[in-house]
Chain A
């Protein structure tokens, strides 16, 4: 009888234990969440902007909850927020370093770096890494969010100085990549236009499709010219011409954004054509396009 009562009790308790085990968060509050009391980021290397933004979001969530609580829970949450704030600065330092390393590697693979350019960038990377090592100790020793805010501004200045040098090469990289994207899209432009014409001849409503296609192609044409213009300007500048490089950098940012928007618009054009084709298929003169493709 005792054995049966044990089995009976076990069967009753087992589903409850299983349900509790499946819960990701404890229903007993955050005070028992000891895993968040300590640091989760112990190295700066290998982090990118995605890691930084995720950690920053986590810190802000903790900080908000700490400000809304009181007593022992406020103390516990404040300690967690301080640990996570240090993680934020760690990932920020790491993301800056990763950006510089990737830039050097990608420019090298595209043969966009002369030996002199490589020395400039490697020197900048070494300088930044020395700053990171110094800053890590200061972050570890910080005991308040206020102290970490001061360190954050120092990090901003350091990264900005490195980016001023790196942006010169980022412009080169963008011109290369942006121009390749534009060429790839324009190679398909005539075929897309042929589909639009064929759909219109069958009575399809292609007014909006044609308008979007024209707008996207005009954008790409302007971007192509802008890339050429910036490339010419860059030939007259050096990486240390911060002001002039910054002006070119702002232009390249806008141009890159317009290329991405034109690409997205053309994807929508083809999707709309596929919908029309599904309702009323058409034929185009494929022989005139296959040679070029």
Chain B
């Protein structure tokens, strides 16, 4: 109450504009050690309220700045802002003191969504790679088969036309010829037209 009384304009005082002058606002942001000699630190304002009453009443500093720089007990904090005409401002103005809360909520929400996206992307990548790993690539089997097929002929020269490998290659090279030989005489059967002189009486449809 004493502080409010000090802040109320007295008769005969000149009411200055609400916006503070540079000299008046600097003490609220400058450290105490660097405060110029012609400025009065706000910490001392509360202790020397009687002596500096006219100057403080002219300033009407923002409530937030007082709260940051005056770590006094809550009961002594001027939570009720005073307007330029000395009247108390409505409680709605105090909402500004709690503005950091929505920012924290948005930040947490953003971090949560980001984490979720990273989890989904990571999971998708893991599944893609896991599917590749489990695909039936028979690379080791191929190596094993190659080893098995060449093992019996390890002591035989490649040019040896009497080797079993050479004989096998020669017989395999006849595969296409024997297939063609049998297909030449199976065209009628494959086209379902019958194999005798009379054509088939049954349609394939």
How many residues on the A side are at the interface (Cβ–Cβ under 8 A)?
A: 72
Main secondary structure of the interface of B (DSSP, over half): helix
Task: Assess whether B181 is in contact with A259, with CB atoms less than 8 Å apart.
Answer: yes
Task: Assess whether A181 is in contact with B177, with CB atoms less than 8 Å apart.
Answer: yes
Which residues of B in the span 135-181 have a Cβ within 8 Å of any Cβ on A? 148, 151-152, 155, 160-162, 164-165, 167-168, 170-172, 174, 177-181
Task: Assess whether B199 is in contact with A157, with CB atoms less than 8 Å apart.
Answer: yes
Residue of B nearest to A160 (CB): B199
CA distance A11 to B186 in the complex (A): 57
Within 8 Å by CB of A185, from B160, B174, B197, lies B174
Task: Assess whether A270 is in contact with B171, with CB atoms less than 8 Å apart.
Answer: yes
CA distance A267 to B113 in the complex (A): 66
Does A112 count as interface, using CB distance less than 8 angstroms?
A: no
CA distance A230 to B26 in the complex (A): 122
Task: Assess whether B181 is in contact with A159, with CB atoms less than 8 Å apart.
Answer: no
- Chain A min CB distance to B126 (Å): 12
Q: Mark A217-258, 1 if CB is under 8 A from B, else 0.
A: 000000000000000000000000011001001101100110
Residue of A nearest to B164 (CB): A274
Task: Assess whether A277 is in contact with B162, with CB atoms less than 8 Å apart.
Answer: no
> Which of B161, B180, B186, B199 has most chain A Cβ within 10 Å?
B199
CA distance A264 to B172 in the complex (A): 9
Within 8 Å by CB of A253, from B170, B185, B193, lies B185
Within 8 Å by CB of A178, from B110, B124, B181, B201, lies B181
Does B64 count as interface, using CB distance less than 8 angstroms?
A: no
Which A residues fall within an 8 A CB radius of B? Answer: 4, 7-8, 11-12, 15, 49, 52-53, 56, 59, 85, 88, 92, 95-96, 99, 145, 148-150, 152-153, 155-157, 159-160, 163-164, 170, 173-174, 177-178, 180-181, 184-185, 188, 191-192, 194-195, 242-243, 246, 249-250, 252-253, 256-257, 259-260, 263-264, 266-267, 270-271, 273-275, 277-278, 281, 284, 286, 289-290, 293
